[in-house]
Amino acid sequence: MRIPAACLALLVLATGCDREPPTTEEIDDARIRVDLAVRAAHQARMALELLGLLPVYTCGEERRTFVGKAAEGARKKVACVVASTEAQGATADAVILSFPDNNCSVRGHTVSGQAAFVYNGGKDRMDLIADLRNVKVDGDALEAKVGYGTCSDEKRFYAEALGALPGRSGNTYFVNARVGSRDGLPLIGGTTLVFDGPGEVSGPLGTDRVTFTGLEYEVGEYLPREGEAFVETAKGHRLRVNFSPVLWRVGKVEVEIDDKAPVTVPIVR
């Protein structure tokens, strides 16, 4: 996975001319670690996009009335999904989403399996929890939980994703994503999703700790359009990753290794 020496001149973007450039080995190592971090964030993003198939609870509405509307809305959004409702005792109801094993496309991805979105409470306080571990996206287990609490002083939307990292054998990941609020953007269910949170990637290179800040995704895109990731590597280095609209269009990110001059590297799914 080394970058050919002839390509390095095209990758290095010396925006800080007074700073020492990173070595070839440092760039190679950073590119691999950034690739792993981006893949981990992508898993959390996919979980949140599935949460967006259902509307956010409208405070003051009867829970069972809302759940019925949510199931109908999911069927309208995704023609191949089977959506049903199920009572879960006196205080909870669930929307069951079942995706067929073949050719069910959800926002550009093939989805299969089943998940129960359980709504507990109502009117003054509603909590949603959905376990997506029986759902596969593009053939890989999602290994995530999503949910929110709303209609109180605290409103929180989250995804907890962990497990084997798809496409990178021998690596595992963990991401605790919190959906961000930004003027003009809906929290869940729109064409743009913004989230923050800590994460971790472990594998042959050791364990890297990652902090994601303001990752802004367009539906169907793999790389964040904007935002930042800060990686504390197992080797003791610090990687500051900048996602920007200009580089996003060509599948690249800017990486600053420790205090050295920034470089741009390609991140291909």
What type of residue is 198? Answer: P
The predicted model scores a pTM of: 0.86
Residue ranges of domains in the chain: 5-266
* CB burial of residue 108 (10 Å; 0-12, 13-18, 19+): exposed
What pLDDT is attached to residue 181?
60
pLDDT of 253 > 60? The answer is: yes
Give residue 179's pLDDT band: very low, low, confident or very high (50, 70, 90).
confident
**Mean pLDDT over residues 31-57, rounded?**
93
Alpha helices in 123-202 (DSSP H): none
What type of residue is 39? Answer: R
What type of residue is 220? Answer: G
What pLDDT is attached to residue 230?
98
SS3 203: strand
Give the whole-number percent of the chain exceeding pLDDT 90: 70
The tokens for 71 are 């199931």
SS3 107: coil
**Mean pLDDT over residues 196-213, rounded?**
97
What pLDDT is attached to residue 123?
82
Give residue 183's pLDDT band: very low, low, confident or very high (50, 70, 90).
low
User: Do 172 and 203 touch, CB atoms closer than 8 A?
Assistant: yes
pLDDT of 156 > 90? The answer is: no
What angle (nearest 5°) sits at the alpha carbon of residue 88, between those of residues 87 and 94?
70
Residues for the chain: how many in total? 269
What pLDDT is attached to residue 187?
58
pLDDT of 177 > 60? The answer is: yes
Give residue 5's pLDDT band: very low, low, confident or very high (50, 70, 90).
very low
**Half-sphere exposure of residue 207: CA atoms within 13 angstroms, side-chain side:** 5
Give residue 6's pLDDT band: very low, low, confident or very high (50, 70, 90).
very low
User: Do 183 and 189 touch, CB atoms closer than 8 A?
Assistant: no
> How many whole angstroms from its chain centre is CA 201?
14
- Residue 76 host element (H or E): helix 63-77
pLDDT of 15 > 50? The answer is: no
Maximum separation of any 2 CA atoms in the chain, in Å: 67
The tokens for 227 are 């935002």
* CA distance between the termini of the chain: 14
User: Do 59 and 151 touch, CB atoms closer than 8 A?
Assistant: yes
From the list 78, 74, 145, 148, the residue with the least C-alpha distance to 111 is: 78
What pLDDT is attached to residue 182?
59
What pLDDT is attached to residue 144?
95
Give residue 184's pLDDT band: very low, low, confident or very high (50, 70, 90).
low
From the list 65, 68, 100, 95, the residue with the least C-alpha distance to 81 is: 100
> How many whole angstroms from its chain centre is CA 267?
16
What pLDDT is attached to residue 93?
96
What pLDDT is attached to residue 108?
82
What pLDDT is attached to residue 153?
64
How far is residue 168's CA from residue 264's CA, in Å, rounded to a whole number?
22
What pLDDT is attached to residue 215?
95
**Mean pLDDT over residues 148-170, rounded?**
88
- Residue 36 host element (H or E): helix 24-51
**Mean pLDDT over residues 161-166, rounded?**
94
**Mean pLDDT, the chain, as a whole number?**
89
User: Do 171 and 24 touch, CB atoms closer than 8 A?
Assistant: no
